[in-house]
Amino acid sequence: MQSFKSTSILRRFLQKSRLVSQSRSFCGVSSHVIIDEPESTVLVEGKASSRTGILNRPHVLNAINYSIGSRLMKLYKSWEDDPDIGFVVLKGNDRAFSAGGDIVSLYNLLKQGNFQDCKEFCWTMYSLVYVIGSYLKPHVALLNGVTMGGGAGISIPGTFRVATEKTVFATPETLIGYHPDAGASFYLSRLPGYLGEYLALTGDKINGAEMISCGLATHYSHSAKIPLIEEQLGTLITDDPSVIERSLENWGEIVHPDPASILHRIETLDKCFSHDTVEEIIDALESEAAKQDAWCVATLRKLQETSPLSLKVSLRSIREGRHQTLDQCLRREYRMSVQALSGQITSDFCEGVRARLVDRDLAPKWNPPTLEKVTNDMVDQYFSPLTAFEPELELPTQQREAFT
């Protein structure tokens, strides 16, 4: 299946000569946040006509903190402005690309009463996603391992994504009382049928073969070939995406989803997840489960583990994302994240992180505890404009074209 970004990529590179001549700005935040060892969190390899950024926090599966986000922003600006650099490669050190944002660090900041640094992390993260999604040079992400949450956010909006048999993709935020963010409402909403709603609400994992089949990845290669791909990319002297694509295709493999793949259940999935509300989705799943459908039974079990408020917020987010550009999705997700982290509506984020990653008792006490107790006002508040004292996310849309 062709990537959902193909036409946007072509249009962007046809317009490249015009765009690179314009002034370019990258969105920034105040610099008072303490950055821990920024040089070591992202390593850099220089090639003939490219640069490779290496996410380097393997002890936490390359989870993205403020240090990684701010360093990548600086590197990407420098590389884009350098006429000797034709394209950029991004990969992770060791067995993960990136497990996503460092949510335990955010949890600790909130427990210390440091809400401001949490907001600045989100601001930097979402700005980086926009930069990668509107980058003026080809971008290759090597997803050879865990690729979740924010890790997907800094790879899927780019030009090329190479998956392997080791790739594990997921947006598991509802399991910690949060919502898929970092551009997830943009790319999930553009998946076939209602697969995006399913992945957003359940947090279910898919593999590399499934990613290439549904369009989340553009290429698939066995992990043993990744060093060969890197070697060949390193010899290229080009800024032409078609040249890079041919190089990636030299090592590409044709794969098909496993017989047990969710993609083989797409008809039932669409039947259940096409409904307008979470309650209707659950009713449809229960109706199918009554017919001894094991997949529906398992899906209901997954939904029972998630935050009820997060389910409703996430469903609305994906539905709105279907009609929004990348920058619009990121601005809305920033609002949602500020509300979620503030704790004014619910403390589900801290409770979810505590239960899954801190105390690990896997017994979160959600508030509200049931779907019935989630009010429309609670959901609406996530999507409402921030107050006059809380700036909205600013993105350089005048200098950098957003995807439609």
Residues recognised as catalytic: 101, 150, 173, 181
CA angle 282, 284, 289 (to 5 degrees): 90
Tokens of 5: 């970004």
Q: Can you tell me the distance from the alpha carbon of 41 to that of 368, in angstroms, rounded to the nearest whole number?
A: 38
Tell me which DSSP letter residue 387 carries. P
User: Distance between alpha carbon 216 and the CA centroid of its chain, in Å?
Assistant: 11
Q: What is d(CA 20, CA 38) in angstroms, rounded to the nearest whole number?
A: 28
Largest pairwise CA distance in the chain: 62
Q: How far apart are CA 131 and CA 128, in angstroms?
A: 5
- Residue 340 DSSP code: H
Q: How, if at all, do strands 87-92 and 160-163 pair?
A: unpaired
Q: At 252, which amino acid appears?
A: G
Return the exposure string of 181-208: e unless at least 16 CB atoms fall within 10 Å of the residue's CB, then b: bbbbbbbbbbbebbbbbbbbbbbbbbbb
CA-nearest of 135, 132, 174 to 318 is 174
Q: How far apart are CA 267 and CA 55, in angstroms?
A: 38
Whether a cis peptide bond, with omega within 30° of 0, leads into 172 is no
| Distance from C-alpha of 334 to C-alpha of 331, rounded to nearest angstrom | 5
In three-state secondary structure terms, 46 is strand
